[in-house]
């Protein structure tokens, strides 16, 4: 079962308690979590408004039946959401954006709205969150599945919610790109450039090409006739050996 199913079932189900007839804004709708959220929201009878970072991904979401899809790489999505909702905004936000986009998304919530934060960038940077929107009786949830794993009781509830959603046919298999383990670098490049839709999978197939493991690089060979100046604080760069010994072991004489 994909981790995205557990993230969405807990985020939109247990935390946001998404209801039929409500509207949810899903950022990054073409990713694994975003596509799972689209499935879950439809199973709940909710309407999805989505964002995505490229024209191809936005076309994909429209082909999947999402009527309103906006660009996640700017802030214009906020005006677009207000326009299509007649200024009312949305009931739930499933967020993975950071900085001003997070604040703009928070401001889109209707009274009683729920904000589910899946990103971590703003938290690591200790960015401030405006409190004025909370005058509208909003709820803010931050959820990280890896942190939930540290609490056995919470982890059990999260997995149970995902299992129930799968049993209720809220989810279908996500699109995915499979890379053999011998080409794991290609998988990471695909993730790095955000060219993927859904999930990226590394398959360890015994019949596929073998995994090439490179050994450590050969130690540098220094010029015995050269002169080397050691200065400053070197920390652990030279391992357990002091710099002069490290240099001498590699051929330096002066």
Domains and their CATH numbers in the chain: 3-172 (3.40.50.720), 175-215 (no CATH), 219-254 (no CATH)
Please spell the DSSP secondary structure of 166-200, one letter per residue: HHTT---PPPEEEEEGGGHHHHHHHHHTT--SBEE
Of 194, 221, 216, 174, whose CA–CA distance to 4 is shortest? Answer: 174
Of 217, 223, 211, 227, whose CA–CA distance to 250 is shortest? Answer: 223
CA–CA gap between residue 95 and residue 26 (Å, rounded): 7
Q: Which residues are bridge partners to 142 per DSSP? A: 117
CA–CA gap between residue 202 and residue 31 (Å, rounded): 17
For 152, the 3-state DSSP assignment is: helix
Q: Residues of the chain whose pLDDT is less than 70? A: 1, 173-177, 179, 182, 190-200, 208-212, 232-242
Look-up of token digits 């929201």: 41
Of 129, 71, 94, 80, whose CA–CA distance to 22 is shortest? Answer: 94
CA terminus-to-terminus distance, the chain: 62
CA–CA gap between residue 179 and residue 18 (Å, rounded): 35
Residues 6+ away with beta carbon under 8 Å from 133: 106, 107, 109
Sign of torsion over alpha carbons 167, 199, 62, 97 = positive
User: What element of type H or E holds 247?
Assistant: helix 243-249
The number of beta carbons lying within 10 Å of the beta carbon of residue 168 is: 11
Of 43, 79, 69, whose CA–CA distance to 164 is shortest? Answer: 43
Look-up of token digits 């939109």: 12
E-assigned strand segments in the chain: 23-26, 47-52, 68-71, 90-95, 109-117, 139-142, 176-180, 199-203
The confidence score (pLDDT) of residue 48 equals 97
Under 8 Å between Cβ of 40 and 47: no
Whole-model pTM: value is 0.73
């Amino acid at each position: 079962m994909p981790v995205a199913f557990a993230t969405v079932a807990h985020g939109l189900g247990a935390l946001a308690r998404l209801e039929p007839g409500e509207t949810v804004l899903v950022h990054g709708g073409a990713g694994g979590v975003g596509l799972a959220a689209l499935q879950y929201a439809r199973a709940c009878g909710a309407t999805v408004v989505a964002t995505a970072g490229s024209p191809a991904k936005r076309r994909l979401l429209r082909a999947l039946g999402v009527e309103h899809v906006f660009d996640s790489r700017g802030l214009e999505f906020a005006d677009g959401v207000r326009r299509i909702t007649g200024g009312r905004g949305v009931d739930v936000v499933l967020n993975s954006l950071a900085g001003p986009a997070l604040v703009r998304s928070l401001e889109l919530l209707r009274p009683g709205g729920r904000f589910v934060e899946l990103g971590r960038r703003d938290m690591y940077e200790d960015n401030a969150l405006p409190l004025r929107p909370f005058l509208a009786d909003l709820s803010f949830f931050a959820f990280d599945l890896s942190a939930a794993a540290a609490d056995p009781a919470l982890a059990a509830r999260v997995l149970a919610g995902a299992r129930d959603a799968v049993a209720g046919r809220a989810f279908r298999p996500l699109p995915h790109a499979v890379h053999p383990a011998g080409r794991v670098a290609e998988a990471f490049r695909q993730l790095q450039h955000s060219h993927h839709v859904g999930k990226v999978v590394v398959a360890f197939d015994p019949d596929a090409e073998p995994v090439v493991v490179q050994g450590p690089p050969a130690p540098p060979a220094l010029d015995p006739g050269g002169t080397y100046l050691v200065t400053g604080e070197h920390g652990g760069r030279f391992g357990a050996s002091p710099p002069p010994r490290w240099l001498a072991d590699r051929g330096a004489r002066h």
